[in-house]
Structure 1
């Protein structure tokens, strides 16, 4: 740890960012994630705390590349620092805390207040900025009340610029884990959750008593790191599917994060089977292959 006199010379934002990185390391350790990832966040926290140049100044001057150049800071942590610098929030840490709140996240978008944030969430069922961006580009989705074509186009542009700055890599379309891996993570999560073998977090949403009930799994398959949780969304609660829908976040070490939801299919040829939403044809092919 730095001496108080040394700390006083450093940028306050850097100390705040280092504190957030250390908190992520502590939560990951408590949730039984890889010791190497835990150590990476702690080493990055020490490096950021020791900087005399404000991280926000580095980001404004050189973008993600400048943050990635900090010793001990890789591409994913550079993205986290960029998000903190740009919005004052870090969605990944809030997920680890169990305190992710989409309305608060949407209010970080310039021009979006609490009322519009609520309408965006309720209309699109979006939980993240990335999901909101996809919904705004989907012409088949009904428009939000009070959001005309011109304002929607402006919101798409602002959100696109915002995401382009705070994420180091946009995951290329189709560059995802196989459905075999996603369904295997789903099986591991539900089995361990059912056997009470996972650490639990206390989500802020739909949890008036503040109970730690939501199991969280961190695991790997090849180059992919996965985090799995039951879906604690308004829609899942409305349909009583909280303990059926499993949200799986995934990323490779090179950066870029996405998510898929695994559910029990209720209709059609896949009825009764676990499927990855949006990748049903691949799931059908997998089950047919396994049956042969």
Structure 2
């Protein structure tokens, strides 16, 4: 009889605690921020983590009683976060977090980008020594990726668009500010004997 009561009490203990779920969402938000994701998406994960950390009822119990809709009744928990919490509770893992971590290997992370297969992903990592999507995107813009065999212009463009789409931002970077000529530079153009001042950069503080 005592064993039965003990087993019942053990069955009521959450396998995944609210604190563990909240920590998972915080890690996701940190990784998204590090990789330049949409600020609203980052904030959603952090607010969700705060709500879950302060919730007095185990989310596992809420899910068992009310399903996804029960989770969505919590402040700041929408359908996407509720689905993520459900996966954490049921599967003890979250594919999104594994993708952001790169599965422990840059090659696996790069293989999730459009037009990059496992062999090419390995070549990129070994030749350029990069490990994150942010570094891969930078290499796609600064010319380093073009030096990797198999990375043509069309494929590099696909990489830029794929990473930008993943982080929900434009694939076209903002061009740098154009230097504005000073009055002395205008005068110097008319009279080369006059010294010119250094250019002022619009929107930049020196």
Question: Normalising TM by the smaller chain, what interval?
Answer: 0.3 to 0.5
Instruction: Give the structure with the larger strand fraction.
Output: 1
Bigger Rg over Cα: 2
Q: Which has the higher helix share?
A: 2
- TM score, norm. by length of structure 1: 0.34
TM-score (norm 2): 0.47
